[in-house]
């Protein structure tokens, strides 16, 4: 099949999905809805993905720009004899895809920006109010990273079929193992130190400030606890980062926080194995790959009590502990509970790992996606 993705060329999710199908003998093409760097384009080429360039926003007040980009999209689809068009994210790219009139068109809703929470509805600017429902109705198939998002968009999608498919994780890379001494040495943490790992980006959506407040509470009760906080400088809200740093500096955890500039993907599993607990508490979410990766490594997790999460993986007291994302005391109590109740931590981590291994693998999820491609081609 000749499959064209209309997605973010900078995104690891785009590359992970497309590389699977390239490796399975499909011809992969990409139109990006964001400008890409030379390094990103070189990586796409290395993966066997033919990159055609990027579009801009879907302008109403500057229709000549919209028409220019629409002609570009149509020309790529026609010239390359594309069989399937697949849009990642419900935004301007999906609007272009819908207006292009190309079929079959698959739309993947990823959460964290395009569809947020149980009360979501298309609103805001003119494009969103009118083009989002049009896109949902006219897609040939919709996939969603969580059941909640599938249920939320259902009323706007008429009779369009919807399936829950997420990115999946590499089980051969993420699994249980020994605590890596090299990371203890790198971060200056004693061998018996208890480590809390926050892998989310330093942005308000991630509620890292609430983790910082909870860290100061934990540090008052346990002198052997250390905190690893993801802090990639290229994707950081600097004003928010300054706020988080000031919270840590004003509390007892100031000497025990370690900011991680960026974790290479091939080191991510070791960071989960280093941690005693992973904490991930964004205000909205889909199916977070970092949490599934932590579960696969056998590291207990603390997550938000959000309706976004599928009980298939995330079930309070069974596979994780859920907390109020805006209550530092609730977050601290859950972390301390897992640190002190070893039977609970083991029971939760074992059940979480079992569920992820059953249906959460990259291969399992991508094979579901490939089956949809084949069914659409048959039609």
Tens-digit pLDDT profile for the chain (379 aa)?
999 999 999 998 999 999 999 999 999 999 999 999 999 999 999 999 999 999 999 998 899 999 999 999 999 999 999 999 999 999 999 999 999 999 999 999 987 667 877 778 887 788 888 999 999 999 999 999 888 889 889 999 888 999 999 999 999 999 999 999 999 999 999 999 999 999 998 889 999 999 999 999 999 998 899 999 988 766 667 899 999 999 999 999 999 999 998 788 889 999 999 999 999 999 988 889 999 999 999 999 999 999 888 899 999 999 999 999 999 999 999 999 999 999 999 999 999 999 999 999 999 999 999 999 999 998 8
Q: How far is 374 from 360, CA to CA, in rounded Å? A: 22
Residue partners of 340: CB distance under 8 A and separation at least 6: none
> Among all chains, which residue has been given the structure tokens 């992970």?
16
> Among all chains, which residue has been given the structure tokens 């205000």?
283
pLDDT at 284: 84
Phi first, then psi: what are they for 75, rounded to 5°?
-65, -40
Domains within the chain, CATH numbers bracketed: 2-168+361-378 (3.40.50.2000), 181-359 (3.40.50.2000)
Query: Quick one: which of 121, 81, 85 has its CA closest to 100?
Result: 85
pLDDT at 113: 64
Concatenate the DSSP letters of all residues of 185-231 into one string: HHTT--TT-EEEEE-S-SSGGGTHHHHHHHHHHHHHH-TTEEEEEE-
90 secondary structure, DSSP code: S
Greatest Cα pair distance in the chain: 65
């Amino acid at each position: 099949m000749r499959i064209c993705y209309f997605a973010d060329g900078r995104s690891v999710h785009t590359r992970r999905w497309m590389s699977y199908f390239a490796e399975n003998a499909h011809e992969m093409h990409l139109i990006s809805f964001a400008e890409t760097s030379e390094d990103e384009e070189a990586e796409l080429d290395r993966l066997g993905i033919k990159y055609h360039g990027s579009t801009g926003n879907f302008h109403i007040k500057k229709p000549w720009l919209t028409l220019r980009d629409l002609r570009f999209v149509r020309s790529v689809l026609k010239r390359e004899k594309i069989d399937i068009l697949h849009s990642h994210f419900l935004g301007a790219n999906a609007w272009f895809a819908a207006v292009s009139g190309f079929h079959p068109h698959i739309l993947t809703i990823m959460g964290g920006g395009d569809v947020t929470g149980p009360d979501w509805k298309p609103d805001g600017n003119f494009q969103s109010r009118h083009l989002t429902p049009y896109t949902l109705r006219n897609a040939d198939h919709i996939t969603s990273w969580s059941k909640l998002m599938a249920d939320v968009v259902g009323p706007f999608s008429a009779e369009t079929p919807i399936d829950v498919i997420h990115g999946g994780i590499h089980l051969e890379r993420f699994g249980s193992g020994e605590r890596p001494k090299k990371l203890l040495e790198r971060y200056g943490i004693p061998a018996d130190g208890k480590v809390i790992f926050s892998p989310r980006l330093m942005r308000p959506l991630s509620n890292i400030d609430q983790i910082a407040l909870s860290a100061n509470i934990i540090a008052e009760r346990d002198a052997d606890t250390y905190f690893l906080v993801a802090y990639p400088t290229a994707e950081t809200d600097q004003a928010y980062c300054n706020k988080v740093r000031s919270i840590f500096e004003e509390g007892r955890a100031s000497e025990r926080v370690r900011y991680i500039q960026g974790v290479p993907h091939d080191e991510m599993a070791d960071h989960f194995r280093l941690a005693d607990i992973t904490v991930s508490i964004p205000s909205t979410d889909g199916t977070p790959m970092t949490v599934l990766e932590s579960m696969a490594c056998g590291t207990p997790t603390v997550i938000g009590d959000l309706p976004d999460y599928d009980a298939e993986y995330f079930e309070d007291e069974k596979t994780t502990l859920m907390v109020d994302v805006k209550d530092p005391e609730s977050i601290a109590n859950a972390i301390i509970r897992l640190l002190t109740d070893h039977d609970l931590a083991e029971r939760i981590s074992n059940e979480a790992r079992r569920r992820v291994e059953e249906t959460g693998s990259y291969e399992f999820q991508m094979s579901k996606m490939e089956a949809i491609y084949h069914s659409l081609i048959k039609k």
